[in-house]
Amino acid sequence: MSLLDVTGLRVRSADGRDLVRDLSFTIGPGERLGLIGESGSGKSLTALAVTGLLPSGMTASGSVVLDTPETGPSEVVGAPERRLNGLRGRVVSVVFQEPLTALDPLMRVGRQLAEPIRRRRGLRGAALRAAVAAALQEVRITEPGRVARAYPHEISGGQRQRVAIAMALACEPALLIADEPTTALDVTVQAEVLALLGGLVTARGMALLFIGHDLAVVSGITDRVLVLKDGEAVESGTVREIVDAPRHPYTRSLVAGARHLDSALDWTNR
Ligand SMILES: Nc1ncnc2c1ncn2[C@@H]1O[C@H](COP(=O)(O)OP(=O)(O)O)[C@@H](O)[C@H]1O
Ligand SMILES: [Mg+2]
């Protein structure tokens, strides 16, 4: 059984350009797939098409099926917003590159995080406050009390991304999509947030679609990789296969250019 089954996905712009073409892949429960490609290759549009969040004017065709024992199979392409709302959060959740896109600037962090937890688990009052504190601790926020009372602009970029991860996990999704979740962070914070994300995905047995442009990063956190170029898949395989024997010239250039690849591969042997 596949949790996510994408078949012949195409994303077309308002002016009729095909930005993603004939893309097919599957992710099973608990599997980790990396989507890698240069800037503008269609990675984010793929993530948005999977969650039914394409910008207005853009259209998806083909098929995107999300299937969990709890919900049964659901076709995302062409689904009404009401159906999509039932899938977002508890079936699939996204962490975006820029944490501020996930956070309301005018609402204290604790209140924002409380909302999905309340909806999912029906908690109120002191129990809800305790669950919010636990969620902040789970993403290793060191001062959960202060952060819960802060507005998003009052905490650091790394803390904001940790909060965005906590928000994405609050509804206990079966599939987490992480779209370049560390690209906007300082290098020192990047490794911490990646390790946190990998640990949480393992601890919860979630499936992961991890999007990135750096093969060293993507290969460190995923098992299989799909290489995207100009909106099309050019190669896919296990991290080992891609790194040891890249076939497409673009993949070869990615492998040759991957910095710190050796250490990333050591990390893969978990
Ligand atoms: N809202 C939009 N309107 C028009 N074109 C867009 C929009 N978003 C993305 N694109 C175009 O679609 C292509 C793929 O974009 P995207 O999926 O964001 O790339 P990636 O995430 O791989 O960097 C790019 O050429 C980009 O310019
Ligand atoms: Mg992108």
Per-residue pLDDT tens digits for 57-87:
999 999 999 999 999 999 999 999 999 999 9
- Residue 229 near ligand 1, beta carbon < 6 Å: no
Higher pLDDT, 183 or 231: 231
Q: Which ligand is nearest to the CA of 39?
A: 1
Percent of the chain with pLDDT over 70: 96
Residue 264 has pLDDT above 90, yes or no: no
Q: Do residues 34 and 99 lie in contact, with contact meaning Cβ atoms separated by under 8 Å?
A: no
3-class secondary-structure state, position 116: helix
* 82 CB neighbour count, 10 Å cutoff: 7
Q: Do residues 68 and 1 lie in contact, with contact meaning Cβ atoms separated by under 8 Å?
A: no
9, 10, 12, 13: residue to mutate for ligand 1 pocket, most atoms within 8 A of CB: 13
Q: Token pair of 231, please?
A: 């909106």
Looking at residues 230-247, what average pLDDT do you find? 95
Q: Which fold has domain 4-268?
A: Rossmann fold (3.40.50)
What pLDDT does 196 receive? 95
3-class secondary-structure state, position 58: coil
What pLDDT does 1 receive? 78
9, 11, 13, 19: residue to mutate for ligand 1 pocket, most atoms within 8 A of CB: 19
Q: Which residues contact 151 (CB under 8 A, 6 or more apart)?
A: 105, 106, 107, 108, 109
Least confident span in 56-60, 189-193, 208-212 = 189-193
Alpha carbon distance 202, 161 (integer Å): 19
Residue 174 has pLDDT above 60, yes or no: yes
Strands 72-75, 175-179: pairing is: unpaired
Looking at residues 198-220, what average pLDDT do you find? 94
Nearest CA to ligand 1 atom 13: 40
Q: Do residues 164 and 184 lie in contact, with contact meaning Cβ atoms separated by under 8 Å?
A: no
3-class secondary-structure state, position 240: helix
To 5 degrees, how large is the angle CA 248–CA 249–CA 254?
A: 95
- Domain layout of the chain by residue ranges: 4-268
Residue 234 has pLDDT above 70, yes or no: yes
What pLDDT does 101 receive? 86
Alpha carbon distance 73, 58 (integer Å): 24
What pLDDT does 260 receive? 52
